[in-house]
Amino acid sequence: MPYTNCLRLSTIKYLDLLDDVPYKIIKIMINEDDEDNDDETYNVEITDLECDRVCYCKTQFKLTLPVNISQGTLPLYVDKTFTTVIEYNTSSGIASTILDLQY
């Protein structure tokens, strides 16, 4: 069954998909002064992977984020992809959240 192609920032935080993303990119996404930023959406490609453990699943998330590459005052953004693989128990809360991402 296919997954959604975008995730809200609150779901990205819950699934810990920002662990391998450099802080300078995260601080732009998570502006503490803006309380409404949890509703922002980001492009993602979700793929199920084979898992060799009983009662466990493995899912890959390719998160595409805008990255400012300019050195000057005018921002110049490019899309950069970060990949995270999550292995989780099929009866966990994370499994329920990932199941909700299917459509």
Number of domains present in the structure of the chain: 1
Separation CA 28–CA 6 (nearest Å): 18
Q: Is residue 1, in this structure, part of any structural domain at all?
A: no
The predicted pLDDT at position 48 comes to 94
- In which domain, by residue range, is 62 found? 6-100
pLDDT single digits (tens) 50-103: 999 999 999 999 998 888 888 778 888 888 899 999 999 999 999 999 999 997
Mean pLDDT on 10-17: 89
Query: What are φ and ψ of residue 67, in 5° steps?
Result: -120, 130
pLDDT single digits (tens) 83-92: 999 999 999 9
| DSSP sequence for 23-34 | HHHHHHH--TT-
Separation CA 97–CA 94 (nearest Å): 5
pLDDT single digits (tens) 17-46: 988 888 877 777 766 555 667 778 889 999
Q: Is residue 10, in this structure, part of any structural domain at all?
A: yes
Q: Is residue 89, in this structure, part of any structural domain at all?
A: yes
